[in-house]
Amino acid sequence: MTIDYKALQAIPQREEPYHIVVTAAHHDDIEFGVAGSVARWIREEGATVTYIIITDGGAGSNEPDIRREQLVERRYQEQLEAAARVGVDDVRFLGYPDGQLEATLDLRRDITRVIRETKPYRVVCQDPTAIFVHRGYVNHPDHRAAGEASVYAVFPSAETRPIFPELLAEGFEPHKVGELYLNLTQSPTHFHDISSTIDLKMAALSAHVSQIGAGEDFENGAKKWLTQGNRDGGAMVGVEFAEYFRVLKFDEERESWYKEEMERREREMALK
Ligand SMILES: [Zn+2]
């Protein structure tokens, strides 16, 4: 599939205050993927943000002598620091075993609980449909499981009263999410200009020392290739640095899918 980047729309700025929930399989997924956008939504739109880190991070090392519990604790601290660097102080750790995640009902319920509690307008998660990415990456199955559970937590579980009656018993009433943003997607519909927050994004990423090492470019070069990737992404849409999302909106009156598709094609033609 080829993506017509010129036809992608910029994410519009929101006027009224709102809450965002960002879910991710692993510690550092958010920093690699969407922290530039998160920082901008907080700084420029006054958004408040909750992170949900689904696994315990215990598979984040291939060193034979590292103790899993030590790594879990270290990555917990690194994630709190990374979140704080972009202004996020609400981080939930669900503690599922890293590397073996499945999109179970238990996981969906755990995510639904946080959505009903914090009532986000926007939920950001990983695109569960991405299996083969470009020519050299098989998407991690934890990312797909995290994405699938998150999507179905947003719809139908968060807004539908009879699903998970045990959450009602805990006091969590249904909540309808307004927008779903999928990252790590192969079908982006929107880009977000992160030129004003790329430095914050890199500062957040640099907190994950156990994963990327310390030092100016970190030991494994992650800063360099991620910066270049965001720059290349920006060049596709005419800004300095960009992140990409597939955006679904649930709170808009729609005339018809066909009309929307016609408008998209007209935009595309106008750009040619
Ligand atoms: Zn990951």
Q: How confident is the model at residue 9 (pLDDT cuts 50, 70, 90)?
A: very high
Instruction: Compute, in angstroms, the gap from residue 59 CA to the centroid of ligand 1.
Output: 10
Instruction: Compute, in angstroms, the gap from residue 101 CA to the centroid of ligand 1.
Output: 11
State the CB neighbour count (10 A cutoff) for residue 139: 18
State the CB neighbour count (10 A cutoff) for residue 251: 9
Instruction: Compute, in angstroms, the gap from residue 172 CA to the centroid of ligand 1.
Output: 29
pTM value is 0.93
Per-residue pLDDT reduced to its tens digit, 80-127? 999 999 999 999 999 999 999 999 999 999 999 999 999 999 999 999
- What residues flank ion ligand 1 with Cβ within 5 A? 26, 29
Angle between helices 222-237 and 198-205 (to 10 degrees): 150
Instruction: Compute, in angstroms, the gap from residue 247 CA to the centroid of ligand 1.
Output: 21
In a domain, 122, yes or no: yes
Instruction: Compute, in angstroms, the gap from residue 141 CA to the centroid of ligand 1.
Output: 9
Instruction: Compute, in angstroms, the gap from residue 67 CA to the centroid of ligand 1.
Output: 20
pLDDT of residue 217: 65
CATH (domain of 159): 3.40.50.10320
pLDDT of residue 262: 87
pLDDT of residue 136: 85
State the CB neighbour count (10 A cutoff) for residue 177: 20
In a domain, 259, yes or no: yes
What distance in Å separates the CA atoms of residue 111 and residue 117, rounded to the nearest whole number?
A: 10
Q: How confident is the model at residue 19 (pLDDT cuts 50, 70, 90)?
A: very high
Q: CB of 158 within 8 A of CB of 150?
A: no
Instruction: Compute, in angstroms, the gap from residue 135 CA to the centroid of ligand 1.
Output: 18
In a domain, 3, yes or no: no
Domain range for 124 is: 10-271
What distance in Å separates the CA atoms of residue 41 and residue 207, rounded to the nearest whole number?
A: 20
Per-residue pLDDT reduced to its tens digit, 139-155? 999 999 999 999 999 99
Between residues 6 and 81, the one the model is more confident about? 81
Which of 47-61, 134-148, 197-211, 214-228 shows the lowest per-residue confidence on average (mean pLDDT)?
214-228
Instruction: Compute, in angstroms, the gap from residue 25 CA to the centroid of ligand 1.
Output: 6
pLDDT at 219 over 70: no
Instruction: Please provide the average confidence, as pLDDT, over all residues in the chain.
Output: 93
What distance in Å separates the CA atoms of residue 158 and residue 87, rounded to the nearest whole number?
A: 26
Instruction: Compute, in angstroms, the gap from residue 23 CA to the centroid of ligand 1.
Output: 11
Instruction: Compute, in angstroms, the gap from residue 20 CA to the centroid of ligand 1.
Output: 20
Instruction: Compute, in angstroms, the gap from residue 210 CA to the centroid of ligand 1.
Output: 14
Instruction: Compute, in angstroms, the gap from residue 90 CA to the centroid of ligand 1.
Output: 20
In a domain, 95, yes or no: yes
Q: How far is CA 210 from CA 55, 73, 137, 218, 245, in A?
A: 16, 11, 22, 11, 28
In a domain, 4, yes or no: no
pLDDT of residue 218: 67
Q: State the total domains in the chain.
A: 1
In a domain, 195, yes or no: yes
Per-residue pLDDT reduced to its tens digit, 246-261? 999 998 877 778 888 8
Instruction: Compute, in angstroms, the gap from residue 143 CA to the centroid of ligand 1.
Output: 6
What distance in Å separates the CA atoms of residue 34 and residue 243, rounded to the nearest whole number?
A: 7
Instruction: Compute, in angstroms, the gap from residue 133 CA to the centroid of ligand 1.
Output: 14
Q: Which two tokens stand for residue 211?
A: 């994963």
pLDDT at 65 over 80: no
What distance in Å separates the CA atoms of residue 185 and residue 33, rounded to the nearest whole number?
A: 10
